[in-house]
Every structure is written in structure tokens, then in C-alpha cells.
Structure 1
Amino acid sequence: MERMRVHREIPPAGYRLMLVLAPVIWGLSFVIMKDSVQVIPPAQLIGVRFLCAGVLLGAVFFKRVRAAFCRDMLVRGAILGTLLFLAFWFQTIGVANTTPGKNAFLTATYVVLVPFGWWIIARRRPGIHNLVAAVLCLAGIGFVSLDSDLTAGYGDLMTLVGAVWFAVHMIYVAKFSEGRDMVVLTVYQFFAMGIWGTLIGLVIEPLPALSSITGGFIGEMVYLIVFASCAALLFQNVAQAHVPPAQASLLLSLEAVFGVLFSVLIYGELISIRLIVGFVLVFVAIVVSEVFPEIKKPLIEK
């Protein structure tokens, strides 16, 4: 069935549902990564996850990948994949050493960092709303991460480093993807991430014990590969073109909220008043950074 025909058959509510399902899937993935990383080390986990995701997505879109194959696409995909590998590597190290809920919200701070990265690279000055979002975000990070002696845990710090790399990746996606097929670039990114994860994992990490590779672990990997890496990404890419940007940004920002929800329900994370305040501040910062510009655009045009 042709892509355009599929799009005509989906009602507007269907696209919004996709943009809810994507953050639900990603939110649950934080808990699953927390469990999986007890079996297989972070780099190896990324290697297996994204090599398999690259094969799966490449098979589904084989004609597009073959049609767009060229050195330029390979180089761009390799660079973006390297940046995204670093983001996921630090994030996965982080989730191994902190709670899934904190990992989800601290990862989400990359949204607030992106405008300041653009300032450095493109000399595009952040707006007042970006500065407000940054202050709220920093306050939220303090509530979430800092202990009574004003020190942060190792897992929280690694997660924040990952958030910086996610922001860098987002900036370079904007620079590298113009006029290119993003699905094909994503396939190349997945392969680059898988190769980096496999190489680094084999060099610096111990191999997992065969006895630890259970049916439950395989099921978790299937979820991370099929749903968290491929399906959710396709939901986002397809639906964002059919939903107003402000709505899309708000719905996608729910990833961190679902991350905490699943962490409480499944992982048993205990939420204190201080954490709730921190989570609220970070979420408000994300909404201010992402949604405000899209609301402001039509008002300015009027």
C-alpha cells in the first residue's frame, strides 16, 4: 500500500494517538533499559539494539535505502550515528546508576539545551523564553539530582552528559538532514551506533554470562529494538507532519512523564516532594522551550 494512501485513511485523531504512543513506548523503555543493563553492559546493549534495529528498519525501507545510497549519505549518517551513540551510551550508563524516572527527566533537559547550542553554532540568539526555560531547568535539575550536601550522584551526572550529546545530535540533525531522506539517514545512524557499541563493548566491557540470557531478557531486547527504536520513531516521523507543531511538541514531551510513571508502577521508584518539584520544573521548562515558539508564531503572523 502506498504511503500517501495510508495517510489519507488515518483520521487526525490517529496522528495524535501516534504522538501519544511514541512517548509511552519511550517512557517504558527507561524501565526496560534499567533491567536489561543488569544483564548486558551499556555499550554492548547499544550495539545489539541498534545493529538489529538498523537491519529491521533497513529491510522495511530497503528500496528507499538503496535509491539514496551514496558516500554523502553514509558520511552524514556515520557522523550523526556517532553523536547519537555517545548520547545513548552516557544515558545508559546513567540509568544503570540511577532510577529510571530521574534518568527520563534529566535526559529530557536536552530540549532546553538545543537553543543555546544553536547560538554557538549558528549565531542565533536564544529568546527570552529560552532563558526562562534554562533557569527553570537548572532549578529542576537541582531538586532532582543534588543531595543534601549539594553533590550529584554518578548516574545523574552521566545522564546529564548524555543530555548534552542528545542536544548536539539534534543540532546536527537540523544541519545535515535538509534535503535528505531522514528515514535513510536513520538507518545509517542505527548501523553506526551498533558498530560503535559493539567495538567499544568488546574492548572495555566484560561479556555477559550465557546463563543470564533468559527469555525475559530476549523479550526486553525485542521491545527496545522493534518498539522503542523502530515503531516509535516511525510514529513520530509520520505524525509530526500532520499535527500542529505546538501540539506535537507537547505530546512528545510527555516521554519524561511516562518514564516516571512506569518507574513508579514497575520499578517501584519512591517519589519525594523534592523530586516532584524538580520533575514539574523540568517539565515546565520543556514546555516553555518547545511549545511557546509555536504558539507565538501564528500570533506574530496575525
Structure 2
Amino acid sequence: MKQNKIIGALYLSFAASIWGGMFVIVKDIVGQISPIQLVWLRYLVAAPVLLLFCLVMRIDWHWRKQDVGLMILIGLIGNTLSIVTQETGTWLSSAQLGSVVTAATPAFMVLFSWGLLKVRPTRGDWLSLIFAMLGVICIVGLSFSVRGVLLGALMLMIAALTWALMSVLIRKVSPDVNALQVTLVGVLVALITLTPWVLMHAQVLAGVNFFSLHVGLSLLYLGAISTASAFVMWNVGFRKMASNLSGLFFLFQPIVGALLGSVFLGENLGIGFVLGTVMIGVSIIVAVKVQ
């Protein structure tokens, strides 16, 4: 049992670290590819990789009506709305802001779990939520003078809320439905949803040099590593560890995102980001300690 938790912790840490690096890649590549088209390309790369994972692992497929409905909803809320607002918010603000604000997701899950799963929040859960909100206000409050950054922060808040909602909806899917199937269906739903928009604005992609090593490696990271591989790591780690501990590992996301943003994008590590990161970190630690 202890060994499973250690293995699970490693998988969760790697996944969250990969997602932290994702914000830097997005901030860099959106200068050449707009956010919605970037999300579509990301899933276009991830879908065959996930399908390969499913075939290699020989998962059992389940298509019950209730589960299919939930998987479609998960695809619309999480894979479509959350990721589009996440990458748009990162484009309008910074990689640091993107990685830190979305790290408040575990705290938002408390509210959705109460409403959808009837899991009543404890005093520690409320304390955790307060710390998370203070952390977000601390970070975003320093950027209100810049309209674009404020809009980016609002987008990132929507991304965090919708990802939290999606995470809770995943728990309502029947336990015998493999998490890989849920992820693959969500990715396909997002692809189908975004394709009409991409086709109507095909000229945006016409000017992208897909033969560029920079563009190719960025899309490979976002699709194969950040989406497909990281989701597999998270799913494995989530199953090996108690679910109430998994939120702690989101801490690796803002830490990695902020450090890489500083090194590769020249983003300053101001006191607001440091204090906000600490606040969100405390919120997640409190949520774990009181369980």
C-alpha cells in the first residue's frame, strides 16, 4: 500500500510539472498560432497518441448511455471550455499567472463536490478555499491596471472553475469505465466542437510554418506529452493514491511554471506571485491535513 502511494506521488508530481511547463510553451507559441487553433492542434496530436495507449493497454470499452452523456459533458466543459480559456488567459497575461491561478482548482472542487457528490465541506475545506481565493486576489490584484492582464486573469479563473467541475464529473462516471477512455472521448468531443471554428478561420493556420522545428516541437510537447502522456500519468497516480491527497501535487504546476517563465520568458518573480503561490500552497496543504 505504501509503495503504491509512493509510485502514485511520483506520477502525480511528473504530471503536474509537465503542466507547469505547458504554460511556458503556450505563452511562447501563441504568438504564431492563436489560442483556439492551438487547442485544436494540441488535441489533433493527442488523439492518436491516446488511442495508441488504449490499444496497447487493451482497455475494456463501455458505452452505457449515462456514462457517454457524462463523457460528452466532460469533453465540452473540461477539454473544450477550460483549455480554451486557459490558453487564452495565458496569452493575455503570463505563464506565471496562468500556472498559479489554475492551481486553485483543487479548492474549487470542494464546492462542486458539495453540490454534485453531496460531500459536505469541512471547516478545513472552507479554510483551504479562503486561502486559495486570497492567493488568487493577491496575484491578480497587482495587475488590475492593465486591461489585457485583467481579462486574462478572468479567463484563467474560468479555466480553473471549469476544470474543477470537470474533475468532479469524472467521479460520477462508472468506476469500471477506464480513465483512458474518458480522456480520449473528451479529446474527441473537443476536436469535433472546435473544428467548425477552425475551418471558418482556416486562413489563421495557412500562415503557420508547420515545418519549423520550433512549431513542431511545441505541438509535440502540448499534444503528446502535456495532454496524452501527462493525463495517463495523472490517471495512474490518481488511482494509486487516495483522491483527497491528489490536490497537493498541483503545487508543482505553479512552481515549475513560474520558474520556467522567469528563465525562458524573462517574466519577473515579483512579491505578488511569491505571496500568492504561498497562499495557494497553504490552501492545498490545509485541505490535505484536515482529511
Please tell me the TM-score bracket, short chain as reference: 0.7 to 0.9
Contact 2:142 2:272 in 1 (8 A): no
Q: Tell me, in whole angstroms, the C-alpha distance in 2 between the residues paired with 1:189 and 1:149.
A: 34
Question: 2:77 is matched with which residue: 83, 90, 102?
Answer: 83
Q: How big is the shift at 1:217? A: 0.7
Q: Which residue of 1 aligns with 2:20?
A: 27
| Superposition CA RMSD, Å | 2.6
Q: Which residue of 1 aligns with 2:286?
A: 288
Question: 2:100 is matched with which residue: 105, 118, 133?
Answer: 105
Contact 1:51 1:195 in 2 (8 A): no
Please state if 1:120 is matched with 2:115: yes
Q: Which residue of 1 aligns with 2:198?
A: 201
Q: How big is the shift at 1:80? A: 1.0
1:90-135, CA deviations, whole angstroms, 9 ceiling, x for partnerless residues? 1111000011011011111121111112223344321111211121
1:39-98, CA deviations, whole angstroms, 9 ceiling, x for partnerless residues? 212111111211321221112313777841536354332221111111101111100001
Matched letter for residue 74 of structure 2: L
Please state if 1:227 is matched with 2:225: yes
Contact 2:27 2:91 in 1 (8 A): yes
Instruction: Quickly say closer, same or farther: Cα 1:21–1:128, change in 2 above 3 A.
Output: same
Contact 1:45 1:197 in 2 (8 A): no
1:130-174, CA deviations, whole angstroms, 9 ceiling, x for partnerless residues? 211121122111110014768871111110011111111111111
Instruction: Quickly say closer, same or farther: Cα 1:56–1:197, change in 2 above 3 A.
Output: same
Alignment of 1:170-209 (within 5 A): 170-203=167-200, 207-209=204-206
Please state if 1:129 is matched with 2:124: yes
How many pairs does the alignment contain?
284
Instruction: Quickly say closer, same or farther: Cα 1:15–1:148, change in 2 above 3 A.
Output: closer
Contact 1:97 1:154 in 2 (8 A): yes
Q: Which residue of 1 aligns with 2:165?
A: 168
Q: How big is the shift at 1:238? A: 2.2
Q: Tell me, in whole angstroms, the C-alpha distance in 1 between the residues paired with 2:5 and 2:109.
A: 29
Q: Which residue of 2 aligns with 1:49?
A: 42
Q: Which residue of 1 aligns with 2:271?
A: 273
Please state if 1:144 is matched with 2:139: yes
Contact 1:77 1:189 in 2 (8 A): yes
Q: How big is the shift at 1:278? A: 1.4
Q: Tell me, in whole angstroms, the C-alpha distance in 2 between the residues paired with 1:92 and 1:148.
A: 18
Instruction: Quickly say closer, same or farther: Cα 1:286–1:202, change in 2 above 3 A.
Output: farther
Q: Tell me, in whole angstroms, the C-alpha distance in 2 between the residues paired with 1:14 and 1:109.
A: 24
Structure 1 spans left out of the alignment, 5+ residues: 1-9, 297-302
| Structure 1 length-normalised TM | 0.84
Q: Which residue of 2 aligns with 1:68?
A: 61
Q: Tell me, in whole angstroms, the C-alpha distance in 1 between the residues paired with 2:245 and 2:113.
A: 23
Contact 1:41 1:205 in 2 (8 A): no
Q: Which residue of 2 aligns with 1:217?
A: 215
Q: Tell me, in whole angstroms, the C-alpha distance in 2 between the residues paired with 1:234 and 1:66.
A: 13
Matched letter for residue 178 of structure 1: P
Q: Which residue of 2 aligns with 1:5?
A: none
Q: Tell me, in whole angstroms, the C-alpha distance in 2 between the residues paired with 1:63 and 1:148.
A: 47
Contact 1:94 1:154 in 2 (8 A): yes
Q: How big is the shift at 1:212? A: 4.0
Q: Tell me, in whole angstroms, the C-alpha distance in 2 between the residues paired with 1:275 and 1:221.
A: 28
Instruction: Quickly say closer, same or farther: Cα 1:261–1:177, change in 2 above 3 A.
Output: farther
Instruction: Quickly say closer, same or farther: Cα 1:134–1:235, change in 2 above 3 A.
Output: same
Q: How big is the shift at 1:209? A: 4.2
Contact 1:93 1:158 in 2 (8 A): yes
Instruction: Determine helix, strand or coil for the equivalent of 1:281.
Output: helix
Greater CA deviation, 92-101 or 118-127?
Answer: 118-127
Superposition misfits of 4+ residues, deviation over 6 angstroms: 63-66, 148-152
